[in-house]
């Protein structure tokens, strides 16, 4: 019997890369569920299917907002599923600061509605919840957070993702739901929303506009991240689902909760000024930038995030390429496909 996967947020940035990877590397049937708002864009799925016309019959698309429960009528349309990959989420820190309840509804209530649906699936093999590095809060230079370290949320977005994550843990412990929680950080790649750092830099450099680089209070240290390409994230997900018995994975502290959790991390840490300079070098254009105090300008944001990827390395998985290897191709693709930058023409 063919595996059937339900992917929420499938028209989003990471979601459509995951759909692409599953189309190219499995024979699974894929049900895409999305509400098509700020993050969800059907053009992402349309473009990947243009290159894979024979795969169209493997995909079905359902419009639904998870703030509403999955009722019996919608459940009959989805049908029984084996894998649930939950990527649908509100994910912008600034918007969460302005309207925290919106993020509670999307990321906590929406997750619980999906968990309730999952409980009714007799053949469910795994429910995968996509969390974020931000649940752990800021990391000092010497710190990289492991999968089951404590939370220290600094904004409503990260708190809402932690709330959804804890509901997944509760459903795992209470109902025996086969959970798997993933922490990712600073995922980048083709068709990313232009509000995100890398496409934002590409756009501003092309238009010769100033880029604001968040730094410490003395403006001597830019913020830094471990960037990972969305294709590597998708590869890690399929690796965990098909190559690893995640329920048997041992963690250093056997007293921690049993729910399987995994960090998907890029190879190298890079500060945001170096990233902006690297993008400018690929474009062969000057970089206009200004360092600003990140916390004064953006309360609730953190200067550095860091995850420890050693568990995935021990399990035999690492990203295929570093950010420096991925970046030239992503930049050049984005310039050629300028509509994804919100531009109506190619900038020469």
Give the catalytic positions in this structure. Answer: 157
Strand spans (E) along 208-318:
211-215, 224-226, 228-229, 261-264, 269-271, 289-293
- Bridge partners of 292, per DSSP, are 214
Contacts 24+ apart (CB under 8 A), 115-118: 115/167, 115/168, 115/171, 115/177, 116/69, 116/70, 117/69, 117/70, 117/75, 118/84, 118/171, 118/177
Exposed/middle/buried for 229, CB within 10 Å: 0-12, 13-18, 19+?
buried
- State the Rg of the chain over Cα: 20
Q: What is the DSSP string of 136-199?
A: G----TT--B-TTPPP---SHHHHHHHHHHHHHHHHHHHH---EEEEEE--EE-TT--TTSHHH
CB burial of residue 140 (10 Å; 0-12, 13-18, 19+): exposed
* Residue 47 burial (10 A CB sphere; 0-12, 13-18, 19+): middle
What is the spatial distance between Cα 105 and Cα 87, in angstroms, rounded to a whole number?
15
Contact yes or no for 275/201 (Cβ under 8 A) = yes
Helix (H, G, I), strand (E, B) or coil at 31: strand
Q: What are the residues whose beta carbons fall under 8 Å from the beta carbon of 90, sequence distance 6 or more? A: 39, 96, 102, 103, 106, 107, 157, 160
Backbone dihedral region of 316: left (phi > 0), alpha (psi from -120 to 50 degrees) or beta? left
């Amino acid at each position: 019997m063919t595996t059937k996967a339900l992917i929420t947020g499938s028209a989003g940035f990471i979601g459509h890369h995951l759909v692409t990877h599953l189309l190219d590397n499995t024979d699974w049937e894929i049900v895409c569920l999305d509400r098509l708002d700020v993050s969800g864009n059907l053009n992402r799925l349309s473009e990947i299917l243009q290159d894979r016309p024979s795969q169209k019959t493997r995909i079905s698309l359902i419009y639904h907002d998870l703030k509403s429960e999955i009722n019996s009528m919608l459940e009959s349309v989805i049908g029984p599923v084996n894998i649930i990959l939950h990527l649908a989420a509100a994910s912008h820190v600034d918007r969460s600061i302005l309207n925290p309840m919106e993020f509670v509804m999307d990321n906590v209530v929406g997750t619980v509605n999906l968990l309730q649906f999952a409980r009714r699936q007799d053949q469910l093999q795994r429910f995968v919840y996509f969390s974020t590095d931000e649940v752990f809060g800021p990391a000092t230079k010497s710190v990289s957070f492991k999968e089951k370290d404590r939370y220290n949320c600094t904004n409503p977005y990260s708190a809402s993702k932690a709330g959804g994550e804890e509901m997944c843990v509760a459903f795992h412990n209470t109902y025996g739901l086969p959970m798997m929680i993933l922490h990712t950080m600073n995922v980048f790649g083709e068709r990313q929303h232009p509000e995100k750092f890398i496409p934002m830099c590409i756009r501003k450099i092309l238009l010769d506009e100033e880029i604001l680089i968040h730094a410490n209070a003395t403006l001597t240290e830019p913020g830094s991240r471990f960037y990972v390409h969305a294709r590597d994230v998708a590869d890690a997900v399929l690796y965990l689902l098909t190559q690893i018995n995640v329920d048997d994975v041992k963690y250093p502290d056997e007293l921690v909760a049993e729910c399987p959790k995994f960090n998907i991390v890029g190879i190298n840490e890079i500060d945001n000024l170096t990233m902006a300079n690297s993008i400018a070098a690929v474009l062969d254009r000057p970089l206009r930038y200004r360092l600003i105090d990140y916390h004064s300008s953006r309360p609730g944001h953190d200067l550095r995030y860091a995850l420890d990827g050693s568990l995935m390395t021990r399990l035999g998985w690492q990203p295929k390429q570093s950010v420096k290897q991925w970046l030239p191709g992503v930049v050049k693709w984005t310039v050629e496909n300028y509509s994804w930058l919100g531009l109506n023409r190619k900038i020469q």
